[in-house]
Structure 1
């Protein structure tokens, strides 16, 4: 027993799939047990903490509602557009900043400064500049992702082995060839992991984005339910956002594993 315990808590030790999934199931069961005990036991008023059964029933009603699927579709659209726009602009800037010192001097300092400003602080300015339409909601998600993405991509680029680049020059490669055929392919595995993290942040900014005069979307549905203390609807909205985020995370993880199966530790 002692040896087994030591192996379980060994730094970077191995764990069987059975043990891993047992741990995952255990933590969810524990969370559900605490939730059940607090709601059914009367520790928290059900107006503020609905029972798991109430949430499950509400989930069933919502998932069969056309309006709820409209909310999901609009939220997915906003997250996707904000994320894609951040990638289109942020990835090239990050690669430049990680490749050339002059680009780093121009890009990194202001990005480092702005990234500490919360995206919510930009909402009034975004409403002034972009109005209250779809562009404003997408802009909030873009701001939440862009500055972090630029810095992370720059770090990914700098992490490519300098010896690898020097060997390419030794073999006669020109600067453009080193970038296209050596640097970019070498940073792609880390870049995929970075995108996987950033899409997660995009989902966390969804509710903030849908505070901007929205009349649909999961964030709007959550805020509308909050006005009437429909906490079961709030729980359903939060759970659905979590599930959508988990699906996108797993999609990136599977894509990483398929494209870069040769990378040690790929998930």
Structure 2
């Protein structure tokens, strides 16, 4: 079973690279518009030997970690507080949904004007892209908890902290972990666009710089690195989530 789980993804990637090579072989696109896999591999060696790409990876990961952490630290408690109050939900859910449907990239002009060039505008955009979806997810998860849970807690005279840790958090944990995983993926997508216009380093800036220099082989190198890092981080998130499920009593159900 494990061999099949490994073989199928490898087969799909091999098929992708085969189609890419066929396009090159039949000259469907000129070399300057679609570099060959061999050209990209050669560029990979140059980029890794210069260590520039390592610096860009570290910078992008750091920005995502800071922006996403701030978002989660603020959104989860705020969502718990608002989700338990009907009047607050009626007042703020339309407000949060309004900003949730705004593309975080529309904030780029303001981010640059407010924070100038560098880390701050990118972190700000990461925060905006994940804060509103997270808070809506927490509020929605609270609404799915059966009332009987709280009635039982009342019968046992649970205190507020006991209700939070013994009832609320275990009940919403599956949805919360899924939301965190999805929002982390959003933040990884947004950071690339944010770095193209608001930074002078990072993976997004590397693609933008390659575009300006008409070096599409470099751009493809950065795209491959971005995709691979996204896969690795998503898988790491899954493993962490599985451990959390075991801790909260949900078993090994997170895939």
Instruction: Give the TM-score, by structure 1 length.
Output: 0.87
1:64: how far off?
2.4
Question: How far apart are the structure 1 equivalents of 2:20 and 2:146?
Answer: 49
1:192-235 Cα offsets, whole Å, 9 max, x none, are 22111111100100122113342111111100000122111111
More helix as a share of residues = 2
Name the counterpart of 2:185: 200
1:51 aligns with 2:36: yes
1:26 aligns with 2:14: no
Which of these residues, 3, 24, 29, is aligned with residue 39 of structure 1? 24
Name the counterpart of 1:263: 250
Which of these residues, 53, 67, 92, is aligned with residue 82 of structure 1? 67
Question: How far apart are the structure 2 equivalents of 1:18 and 1:93?
Answer: 44
1:176: how far off?
4.1
The secondary structure found in structure 1 opposite 2:196 is: coil
Instruction: Count residues in correspondence.
Output: 252
Question: How far apart are the structure 2 equivalents of 1:56 and 1:162?
Answer: 58
Question: How far apart are the structure 1 equivalents of 2:164 and 2:77?
Answer: 12
Name the counterpart of 1:191: 176
Which runs of no fewer than 5 residues in structure 2 stay unpaired? none
8 Å Cα contact 1:136-1:212 kept in structure 2:
no
Which of these residues, 135, 143, 165, is aligned with residue 180 of structure 1? 165
Question: How far apart are the structure 1 equivalents of 2:153 and 2:147?
Answer: 10
8 Å Cα contact 2:134-2:179 kept in structure 1:
yes
1:104: how far off?
1.3
1:18: how far off?
4.0
Alignment of structure 1 residues 1-267 onto 2, 5 Å: 16-261=1-246, 262-263=249-250, 265-267=253-255
Question: How far apart are the structure 2 equivalents of 1:63 and 1:151?
Answer: 41
The secondary structure found in structure 2 opposite 1:74 is: helix
